[in-house]
């Protein structure tokens, strides 16, 4: 089965048992010595008898463990804060069956149209009723509706979509007094931090699960051919089909990710789009309904270890290697060459090839930026005017 399953598709029921053990210690191992003096043995026996009598008296209930800065004693307050702004998304779409040959009559069967319904999740980001979700939740939908925690139901419309990040923006029609969720900063999330997932898995509305950020910056997950830009947060918070588009929440009650996919080959392996990616394209989705991306005009890759050692660059220095310059493109006009290492663009240090690809796509068509690069053992700067990314 494929690694990445989009959560609003393919029925899947997974039951997780989470066993939490706290404050349990094995008693110290008993040691005995030869009974050399009877009086001491009698005294010890008396003390043991007193201890046994005392142990039969009612003991006070130990206080509940206090919450630490990193691990709350309960997620209830966080959930109460954000849950009202998480919505269930209902869609209908026209599905056309394929034409085929009947095995009985050997004649062609005319394609049939039918209405398919699906479920997903989303969250309200402003008082105007804008809702963030996954593109695959509403792809080709002819009708979209959302239901809130308070059971209010509204029709919604698609405002913008970006298949390359699997992000879509809806707007609730005629919504009043709508709850809003706060957007956080996924860059501050660390591996091991607690996170909470809220959504509509398998039609079970407003389900809450908790886990940790298992990894950050996952790329190359085989989810769909359209999804070109990836920088996933991996989490073991239990998510299932129907969770697609729901929020991944930090312990401050802020959205740090959009739950998007799970691994069908294992348990506790889910993926969420960092909320920063959605925020970067949100203005274009609101204004244009789509994302127009800028372009450097180069092919890039990661820097081999041997090259780093030769140039005295550590892994922490980041950078991306130019593997090909597109003829007639912006980079060729700026005199970039194959083998150049791009260290920064527009004053922003480059972490790796994936970071450069995302950054360059959002800088703006027609904008002139300064590119910091290393060519051989020389550091240099050049100006480059960004073009439009070809389809």
Query: Which sequence positions are flagged as catalytic?
Result: 136, 166, 244
Q: How far is Cα 54 from Cα 237, in angstroms, rounded to an integer?
A: 44
Q: Among candidates 372, 200, 366, which has minimal Cα distance to 293? A: 366
Residue 301 φ/ψ, nearest 5 degrees: -150, 175
In the three-class reduction of DSSP (H, G, I as helix; E, B as strand; rest coil), residue 359 is classed as: helix
Q: How far is Cα 211 from Cα 369, in angstroms, rounded to an integer?
A: 41
Q: How far is Cα 236 from Cα 271, in angstroms, rounded to an integer?
A: 9
Listing DSSP states for 65-100 in one string gives PPPPSSS-S-SHHHHHHHGGGEEEEEEEEEEEPPPE
Helix (H) or strand (E) holding 117: strand 113-124
Neighbours of 217 (CB within 10 A): 15
Q: Among candidates 122, 386, 150, 118, which has minimal Cα distance to 260? A: 122
Q: How far is Cα 180 from Cα 113, in angstroms, rounded to an integer?
A: 38
Residue located via tokens 């550091």? 379
First to last CA, the chain: 30
Q: Are 292 and 281 in contact (CB under 8 A)?
A: no
Which runs of E-coded beta strand occur in 219-276?
232-235, 247-249, 254-263, 270-274
Neighbours of 273 (CB within 10 A): 26
Q: How far is Cα 74 from Cα 59, in angstroms, rounded to an integer?
A: 26
- The answer for residues whose C-beta is within 8 angstroms of residue 150's C-beta and 6 or more apart is 84
Listing DSSP states for 290-307 in one string gives S---EE-SEEEEPPPHHH
CA distance to 2, 154, 179, 239, per residue, from 182 (Å): 34, 21, 10, 21
């Amino acid at each position: 089965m494929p690694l990445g399953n989009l959560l609003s598709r393919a029925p899947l029921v997974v039951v997780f048992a989470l066993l939490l053990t706290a404050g349990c210690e094995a008693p110290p191992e008993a040691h005995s010595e030869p009974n050399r003096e009877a009086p001491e043995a009698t005294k010890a026996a008396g003390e043991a008898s007193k201890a046994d009598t005392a142990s039969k008296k009612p003991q006070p209930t130990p206080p509940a463990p206090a919450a630490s800065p990193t691990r709350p004693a309960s997620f209830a307050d966080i959930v109460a804060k954000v849950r009202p702004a998480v919505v269930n998304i209902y869609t209908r779409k026209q599905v056309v069956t394929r034409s085929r040959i009947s095995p009985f009559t050997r004649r062609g069967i005319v394609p049939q149209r039918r209405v398919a319904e699906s479920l997903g999740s989303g969250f309200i980001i402003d008082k105007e009723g804008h809702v963030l979700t996954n593109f695959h939740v509403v792809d080709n939908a002819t009708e979209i509706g959302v239901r809130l925690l308070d059971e209010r139901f509204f029709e919604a419309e698609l405002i913008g979509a970006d298949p390359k990040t699997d992000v879509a923006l809806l707007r609730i029609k005629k919504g009043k007094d709508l709850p809003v969720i706060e957007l956080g900063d996924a860059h501050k999330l660390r591996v091991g931090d607690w996170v909470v997932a809220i959504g509509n898995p398998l039609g079970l509305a407003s389900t809450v699960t908790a886990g940790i950020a298992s990894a950050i910056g996952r790329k190359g997950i085989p989810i769909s051919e359209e999804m070109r830009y990836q920088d996933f947060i991996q989490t073991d918070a239990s998510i299932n089909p129907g969770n697609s588009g729901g929020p991944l929440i930090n312990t401050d009650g802020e959205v740090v990710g959009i739950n998007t996919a799970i691994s069908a080959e294992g348990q506790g392996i889910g993926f969420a789009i960092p909320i920063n990616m959605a925020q970067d394209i949100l203005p274009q989705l609101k204004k244009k309904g789509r994302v127009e991306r800028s372009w450097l005009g180069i092919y890039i890759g990661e820097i081999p270890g041997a090259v780093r050692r030769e140039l005295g660059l550590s892994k922490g220095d980041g950078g991306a290697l130019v593997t090909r310059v597109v003829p007639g493109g912006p980079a060729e006009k700026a005199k970039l060459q194959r083998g150049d290492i791009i260290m920064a663009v527009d004053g922003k240090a480059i972490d790796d090839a994936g970071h450069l690809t995302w950054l360059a796509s959002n800088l703006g068509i027609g904008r002139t930026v300064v590119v910091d690069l290393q060519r051989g053992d020389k550091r240099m700067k050049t100006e480059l005017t960004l073009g439009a990314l070809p389809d």
